[in-house]
Chain A
Amino acid sequence: MTDREVSYGNLTTRRALFTQGALLLFGGLGWLASFLLLPGLILVLVAFLQRDTDGGVTWAFSLDSFRQLFGFTSTGLSSANLWIFLRSIALAVFTTVISVGLAYPMAFFIANAQPRRRLVWLSLVAIPLCTNLVIRTYAWKLLLSARLPPARLAATMGWIEAGRDLLPSWFAVCIGMISAALPFAVIALYPSVERLDRSLIEAAQDLYASPVRVFFQAILPQTVPGLSVAVLLTFVPAMGMFVITDMLGGAKHWLVGNLINHQFGPGRNVPYGAALSLVLIALTLVGVYSSRRQPGQGAEVL
């Protein structure tokens, strides 16, 4: 027997080894193929079909959804969709930058705590996730209402009229988005920050590097794997968000997510919703891909 192979100390034939591996993979991959890949392909197909008057699809090829997507309406060309796409990207980038910016000091703070305390602090970051996003967002709606201190303070400062709520507004949407994304950013960054080689930071400081240079040249490159996961976990949900904009933003502050949600709900235009989903996927992939192409890194954790 010459074609035997050792894997993790297990000496057996190549074929037996691959059979074992395939059996282990079968369940998970089969699940993902049937409930993610296959429906995903159907979604792509549906984008090229015609809508049906009662909210279904008719099996007839049509580019109507894409025409609608690019803003061709019965009244002529409209730029409304373009603004919604740009707004979604801008808000997702803003949310990601602020969340990651806050997550760095928080991760440093936790990594500097006593070893026994670290897990407690980390759990404190994760606990808000146990309350649902909808309930937390509703809590912000409550907190920003006219009678409570934040709105009163804003009124005293002359930012808003007295007796008005702080929402619907972009301010409220941003607060909601950042507060939803923050736990993910901290949890993703923490492992990298904890493993940071402190001697490099000290060396940089000994060489009189400014704090900004220390961050960009001694800290950032070491935390790139965690950073790219953090960007992924904050940017992707932010791109498709509709709950927060719905509850805190009012009708003027729609994102792609709201547009898609509308088509599957009251809009009753599934092909258009499917076409919009393709755009969202494309935009997300561009965002994710550009965040992963950090200079000088090949390391990928996810």
Chain B
Amino acid sequence: MGAARQTYAAGKVEDYLKQIGRVIVIEGKELAVFRTSGDEFYALENRNPHPKGGPLAEGIVSGHYLYDPLYDWKIDLRTGEVQAPDKGQAAAYPVHVDGDTVVIGI
């Protein structure tokens, strides 16, 4: 569970389109938040682990995987881990739904 996190309310479930990322800025940190077709929520830092950087929010979502929008790397939304043959990791943050509010921990 690591260090204590602060949690933030990040809007309602219906503010998020299924399988389409949304950018949420919390205390200056930019996150890409995803709602899967099964209504699970995941949050990654909105920074591409590719050496050239760039955003993640605009990728294609399939199950709990993201295909990044710039280089088509496959990234596990749960851990931020880039799938082989590429390597790298995006920071992942915990998200849960409380009633119909989306809550993100940072």
Q: Do A and B actually bind? A: no
- Chain B residues proximal to chain A, CB less than 8 Å: none
